[in-house]
Every structure is written in structure tokens, then in C-alpha cells.
Chain A
Amino acid sequence: MRHILAVAIAVTLMATIVSAQERSQTQSTAVPGPDDALNGEKIFGSSCGFCHQGGGRVAGRGPKLAGTDRPDEYLLNRIRVGKEGAMPAYGRAFSETQLRALVAYIRSLKDGNQ
């Protein structure tokens, strides 16, 4: 009985690890699509539009994001860890998928005042 239980735990653990690896690979290689940008827009309007005004199209409390030349990894890191006294850290609040949806939304913004 004990042996069966140990095998079951091992199989479950292995499945979890494989699943996590797959998820990680998906996150790091997936090309953001229009759905990601739409999800990102929703998250943005909930938490980010308070400072990045006009949906990120113009400067306000926070900088304008449309047309930013910062690479994706920079944007992701800034959202994750924030900036003291200026921007909260969202690393614990949002999943990798949500963070990438936010970046996809920022990339979808047309550079120009609206």
C-alpha cells in the first residue's frame, strides 16, 4: 500500500513538473495575439490607467507607454518589481500570462495622442 502511494505521489509530482515546464515554455515563446491585448486592456483599465493616462497613450502621473522602445523583458520586469515611490510591484498580483497580456496591450497602442 505504502509502495503504491509513493508511486502515485511520484507520478503526480512528475506531471506537475512537466506541466510547469510546458507552461514556462509556452510563456516564453508564445507570440502575443489580439486576445492577449484585449485581456491586457481590461487589466490595464483596472490597475494601470490610474497613472498611465489615456490608456497608456499619454503622459500623466506615469509616463506615456505607447510607442515605447523598451524591450519586452524590461517592461515585464518593471511591472513585476515596480519602482519605489512611483510604481507598485505587480509580480505577486498577476500571473505570467496576465503580465504578458499587459505587455501585448502596451505594444498594441498606436503612438500618438488621442
Chain B
Amino acid sequence: MTTKRTVSYLAGLATVLLVAGACSMSTSETAGGTARASMSDPSGNDWTTYHGTYRSWHYSPLTEINADNVKRLRVAWVHHPGRSTRGLQSMPLVADGVLYYTGSYSRVWALDAATGKPLWSYFPKLNDDLVAAQTHSPYTRGIALGQGKVFVGTVDGRLIALDMKTGQPAWDTKLVNSEKLTVGFTGAPLFVKDKVIIGSQGGEWPGRGPIFGVDAASGRKVWEFFTVAGTEESKKTWGGESWKTGGGGGWMAGGYDPETNAVWWGTGNPAPLYDWAGFDWKTSGPRPGDNLFTTSVVALDADTGRLKFYHQELPHDAWDFDSSVGEFVMLDRDGKKLVVHPNKGGHVFVYDRKDASVVNVWQLAKNINFVKGVDPKTGALIGRRDLPLGKHTNLCPAIAGGMSWNSGAYSPKTGLYYKIGQEWCMDLEVIKTTPVLEPQAQLDIGANFTLRNPEGAKAHGHLSGRDPVTGTKKWEVTFPEPPLASLLATGGNLVFVPDPRGMLRAYNAETGQELWSHNNGIGHNGGIISYSAKGKQYIAVATGWGSLVGDEFGALFGEPFKSMPKDSGAIVVFTLE
């Protein structure tokens, strides 16, 4: 099934362009409206956007800490934010010697990046009753910086701008009716030109999961793109009225390609998550059809939010293997401008940046049977395993995915892409459900399931260093449990892996040899960055345990996860002794 196509500007009628201000937008670096150079170029000392730069490499070029001296890495300072419900899941950012990060409940901290001394904090007043009713909450996975402001999405559906120097709110814009839809924002925003882009939660939550473009200066909503039936044409891919409760969302930050002015964003799965129509999904069941633009990568015009082009990675996703997970690694090779995007199902898609046409698809997770394969030339699914009403055994990967939402890393020095793969399966019973929309929308799963080991093996994870375009593996390290945190590659020939047991490990980026480790005392499930402050290089990692994927570990792997606290976490920062 070919689902990739270029969409004309006329076809993007349902994109809601709320304010006609695009023509007057500043493009001058000096006007304060554009992004910092460090967002495009990974050569600086700072880390100013969620994925490191718009190219999403999660790479620092700094070399002071390197493979030869990493054994001398020691803790420089630690910051405890308190009330870290579900652990710290966020990616810190650093600009001009200040480290900014978010804790649970959308709290923001600014610290001296060299010493950890608190400069300011901001605790938004949240709707506590709403937060108590949320499942995918109260973590906040990151922030964005731009125009002298820190931007944070809140779990109750607001986007807030804070003054970078003082932490005082500049504006506070309500974007999602979370009181009705239950979901809000947990993912990091992306600052592009003069706008803040942020995607709402969605997936198995019955809504339409918008992605928003907000004016960074005023907080005014400029555009809104619905990931469910975002165009009239795409509405036809939803049978009946199912588009009204389709799920979708864009709950992780995407990337930006300045050459095409395209914001690349991954979208969530449709609701209900599992579909009892089974093989008859095109014509019957709760959401007949391909269900555009769920489980897709969409390229939106940064100024207007209009859809430029897209590819639906899993037409009619019936497994919760959505495309919100996965960074957009932008590379140039052999005259082609490419973007590499991992899908939760365990395959990595390689696209041409000009139109999202498929260049290659390769398999990272080993235990995959929800499809027999994916055509590497077209991206079409081969031999999909649909799940009719009733019991099914050994579906691989499990709902937690062959890859999870935290990011891999790419090193331009080694040319390797470092990524975690997850090996686990599950048994399930698909059941009929009815979406609950009143008085407050509720999860619509459509199955009961139990995670299990793959046949003939134990559940586990692995880190590999591969060619990002072909998937050719250079080295691999296995872990008894899948690491769930983001990775960091550095110019010092290092790859850092924060693992679930609490060990932060450094590997030789060329060979995969372990060179150093440190016990942070609790699992990792968030971000890791490197930066320079006052002439020294630092590594900063978020600690803390308790995500929805991590919550599986106690039953599946036993200790230390059964006893691991889920209300703790800190920023731990290292430098050479």
C-alpha cells in the first residue's frame, strides 16, 4: 500500500490558519525572532534544543572528555527538584552558562551550569483534579528556548513562556481542552524561526491530537494541524464518524529542515488502540480505513502549519507502534538529503527530505512478527498480522515497542547511528469497547494483554552502532533489560548509555567497548547532554524511574525494579576530576 504522496497546498484545507501574519514574520538573526545558530549547527558549547540541534543527532562535538580520559569522570554537582513523580524524564538544555530543565508537574528550573546553583524556578499552578485523572502524567519531557524565553508545555494543556533570566511568565496560552480530553502536553516544544511548535498527547485517547504553532513573542496560536483527519482528503480514511475520536497526537518533539522550511513531526497511534475488526479493518470495526495521519511522519510548513508531505509508516496501526517515538536524524549522503526515523514497531525508515519518499527501511529489533516485513523500496507492510476479537499469543514486539520514545544518537565522526532495541513480546485478548467521552474522555485500549519473553529467549535490550542508512551493524552490546533513556554521542569518541538499573555507562563509539561506568542509584528514563561552561566540559543526565514502559519491569524482570522508587530523581552532572 502506497501512502506517501505530496500534498498540494490546496489539499491542506483543514489546516486551521488562524492568523494571517506569516508574511510579516522576521527572518533576521538580529531581530531576535530566529533560532540560535546552535540549533542548526552542532559545533558550539551549548545544547539549545531537545534533540541537540534541528538535525537530531544528540551529539556534542566537545572533546575534552574523551575515550582516553573518561575513566577520570566524576560527579561535579547534583540537583534534586523534589516531587519527581515517575522520575525525571526530561532533556536538560544549556545556553550561555545556564542549565534549564523540567521536572514532574511541568516545573522548570534554571541553574548555573558550572556549579548547579539555582538561579530561579517556576512551578505552574495546575488543575490538580485533572492531573489526578491522567494516565500519561505528570512528567514533562523537555522545554524549548528562543527569543530570551523558556517554553514549557503543561500537563493541563497550556504552553507557557518564561523569561530566561528571571523565570517570570511572559505569557500563558491554553491550547488543549484538557478538562474534557484529559490529555495535555508532556513532550518538549520546538522553537523554529519565530514560533513555538508543540504536539499534544493523543494515541489511545479519543481526540484529534493537534500539533500547534504559536507565536513566540505573544503566545498567540497561529496554526493548528489535526493529526487525525487534518485534511478533507484524509478524513475519507476514517469510516463513519470515527475521525472524531481517532487519537493521533504528536507527543514528542520533532525536527526542522530549514531548506524546505518543513517541521518534521511523528504522530501517535489511532484509538482504540487494538481493533477487533481484525482482517476486515478496511470496511468494519471501530475505525475503518487507513486512519490518516496517525502513525505517520508529517512535514508541516513552519509558518502556516500546512501539510507539505507525509508518509504513514503503519497504515491502520493495530498494534500501538506509533511514530511519535523516534528522532529525525538528518544526514546528507551521496548528494541526497535524508532523514532517518525509527518507528516504535522496530523498523527504521529512511526518507528523502524533499518529499518523504522512502529511500530504505531496515530492521533494528529482532523479535518482530506483527508484520513479516516492510518493503525497503516503498515502505509498504508485508504480511501484516491483524488481530480479530479474541485471544492471540506471542505478538512481537510487545506494546512497549521494539524501540521506545527516548532518542538514539549519531556521530558524524564515526558515521554510526547508536540506538537501543527492545526484545519482548506479549499475549493479548482483543475485546470490543465503546469510547468514553463524557464527562471526560478515557483511555480506549480494546484489549487485555500480558508481556512475556520472546520464544526461546529472555526479554532483553541491546545497543548497536550502525550505518544509519543501510542498518549495517558494526557492533552491538546486550543488556539484561532494555535501557529506556536517551543516548549521547560526543566528539571524544564516546557513547553514553544511562541504563535502567542506575548505571551510567560510557562506550568507545568505534568499537562498543565499555570504558567507564557510574552508579547513580536509581534507574534512568530521561535525557542526557554535554555542554561547556566556564571552560570545562560537562555531561548532564536525568535520573529517576517510573514511566509507563518502565512500570513493566518489575513484573518482567523482578529486582531491582520491584523495589525501585518512582517518586525520585535528580540531575547529575559530571566532569573530569
Contacts and interface: CB of A to CB of B under 8 A. Distances in A.
Interface in A32-72: 41-42, 44-47, 49-51, 53-56, 58-62
Contacts of A93: 133, 436, 439-440, 442
Main secondary structure of the interface of B (DSSP, over half): loop
Contact of B448 (A44, A62, A82): A44
Given A44-B448, A85-B86, A85-B567, A50 B443 contact: yes
Interface string B126-157: 00010011110010000000000000000000
Nearest to A91: B133
Contacts of B431: 41-42, 45
Contacts of A55: 429, 448
A19 to B, nearest CB: 20
B436 A50 contact: no
B475 interface: no
Nearest to A98: B436
Given A61-B551, A88-B135, A53 B433 contact: no
B554 interface: yes
Contacts of B195: none
Interface in B80-99: 85-86
A54 B448 contact: yes
Interface in B477-523: none
A31 interface: no
A59 B554 contact: yes
A85 B85 contact: yes
Interface in B427-446: 427, 429, 431-436, 439-440, 442-446
B138 A85 contact: yes
B548 interface: yes
Contacts of A81: 132
Nearest to A51: B551
Given A55-B429, A60-B552, A93-B439, A88 B451 contact: no
Contacts, number: 94
B133 A46 contact: no
A53 B132 contact: no
A53 B443 contact: no
Given A55-B429, A85-B566, A93-B440, A49 B447 contact: yes
Question: How many A residues are at the interface, by size bracket?
Answer: 20 to 34
Contacts of A88: 132-135
A42 B432 contact: yes
B434 A47 contact: no
Given A49-B448, A85-B86, A86-B566, A59 B555 contact: yes
Given A58-B450, A58-B555, A61-B548, A46 B132 contact: no
Contacts of A85: 85-86, 138, 546, 566-567
B551 to A, nearest CB: 4
Question: How many B residues are at the interface, by size bracket?
Answer: 35 or more
Contacts of A49: 445, 447-449
A81 B451 CA distance: 27
B451 to A, nearest CB: 7
A61 B554 CA distance: 8
A46 B448 contact: no
Given A46-B443, A49-B445, A88-B135, A54 B450 contact: yes
A51 B547 CA distance: 12
A38 B134 CA distance: 25
A88 B134 CA distance: 5
Contacts of B566: 85-86
A73 interface: no
A47 B442 contact: yes
A90 B434 CA distance: 16
Nearest to A82: B132
A84 B133 contact: no
Nearest to A114: B450
A47 B442 CA distance: 7
Contacts of A92: 129, 133, 439-440
Contact of A47 (B85, B427, B445, B554): B445
Contacts of A84: 85, 132
B354 to A, nearest CB: 39
A84 B440 CA distance: 19
Nearest to B85: A85
Report, nearest first, the 4 A-B pairs whose CB atoms are least far apart: A55-B448, A61-B551, A85-B85, A49-B448
13 contacts: A45-B448, A46-B433, A46-B442, A46-B445, A47-B442, A53-B451, A58-B450, A61-B548, A82-B133, A85-B86, A88-B135, A90-B133, A94-B436
Given A53-B449, A60-B450, 16 more contacts: A41-B431, A42-B433, A45-B431, A45-B447, A46-B433, A46-B443, A46-B445, A58-B450, A58-B555, A61-B551, A81-B132, A82-B132, A85-B85, A85-B86, A86-B566, A89-B132
